[in-house]
Amino acid sequence: MEVVICPDEAQVGAVAADRVIAQLEGKQTPVLGLATGSSPLNLYSELQRRAAAGDVDFSHALGFALDEYVGLDPEHPLSYRQTILRTVVKPLGMNAARVRVPNGFAADLQSAAEEYEDAMREAGGVDVQILGIGSNGHIGFNEPTSSFASRTRVKTLTQQTRDDNARFFEEGETVPTHCVTQGLGTIMDAHNLVMVASGEAKADIVAAMIEGPVSAMCPASILQFHRRAFVIIDEAAASKL
Ligand code: GLP
Mean predicted confidence (pLDDT) in 128-156: 97
Identify which of 34, 38, 39 to mutate to test ligand 1's pocket (most ligand atoms within 8 A of the CB): 39
| pLDDT range class, residue 171, cuts 50, 70, 90 | confident
| pLDDT range class, residue 76, cuts 50, 70, 90 | very high
Interval 181-193: pLDDT, tens: 999 999 999 999 9
Instruction: Give 65 Cα–ligand 1 centroid separation in angstroms.
Output: 12
In this prediction, residue 43 carries a pLDDT of: 98
Q: Determine, yes or no, domain membership for 158.
A: yes
1 has a pLDDT exceeding 90: yes
In this prediction, residue 226 carries a pLDDT of: 98
Identify which of 80, 88, 133, 195 to mutate to test ligand 1's pocket (most ligand atoms within 8 A of the CB): 133
Which residue type is seen at 98?
R
| pLDDT range class, residue 62, cuts 50, 70, 90 | very high
Q: How far apart are the C-alpha atoms of 189 and 127, rounded to whole Å?
A: 9
170 has a pLDDT exceeding 90: no
Q: Determine, yes or no, domain membership for 177.
A: yes
Q: How far apart are the C-alpha atoms of 211 and 205, rounded to whole Å?
A: 10
**Sheet of strand 31-34, all strands in order from the earlier edge strand to the far edge:** 2-6, 229-234, 192-197, 128-131, 31-34, 62-65, 99-100
Angle at 112 between CA 111 and CA 115, to 5 degrees: 85
Q: Determine, yes or no, domain membership for 112.
A: yes
In this prediction, residue 172 carries a pLDDT of: 81
Atom of ligand 1 nearest to the CA of 161: 7
In this prediction, residue 173 carries a pLDDT of: 84
CB atoms within 10 A of CB 241: 12
Mean predicted confidence (pLDDT) in 23-38: 95
What's the mean per-residue pLDDT of the chain?
A: 96
Q: Determine, yes or no, domain membership for 241.
A: no
Nearest to 160 by CA among 179, 139, 136, 178: 136
| Minimal-distance CA residue to ligand 1 atom 5 | 134
Q: What is the ipTM of this complex?
A: 0.94
Q: Determine, yes or no, domain membership for 54.
A: yes
Percent of the chain with pLDDT over 70: 100
- The CATH number of the domain holding residue 211 is 3.40.50.1360
In this prediction, residue 93 carries a pLDDT of: 97
DSSP string, the chain: -EEEEESSHHHHHHHHHHHHHHHHTT-SS-EEEE--SSTTHHHHHHHHHHHHTTS---TT-EEEESEEESSS-TTSTTSHHHHHIIIIIHHHT--GGGEE---SS-SSHHHHHHHHHHHHHHTTS-SEEEE---TTS-BTTB-TT--TT--SEEEEPPHHHHHHHGGGSPTTPPPPSEEEE--HHHHHTSSEEEEEE-SGGGHHHHHHHHHS--BTTBGGGGGGG-TTEEEEEETTTTTT-
Interval 107-119: pLDDT, tens: 999 999 999 999 9
Total structural domains within the chain: 1
75 or 172, higher pLDDT? 75
Which residue type is seen at 59?
S
Q: Determine, yes or no, domain membership for 239.
A: no
Mean predicted confidence (pLDDT) in 135-154: 97
What is the domain extent for residue 170?
2-234
In this prediction, residue 102 carries a pLDDT of: 98
Q: Determine, yes or no, domain membership for 194.
A: yes
Q: Determine, yes or no, domain membership for 113.
A: yes
Instruction: Give 55 Cα–ligand 1 centroid separation in angstroms.
Output: 28
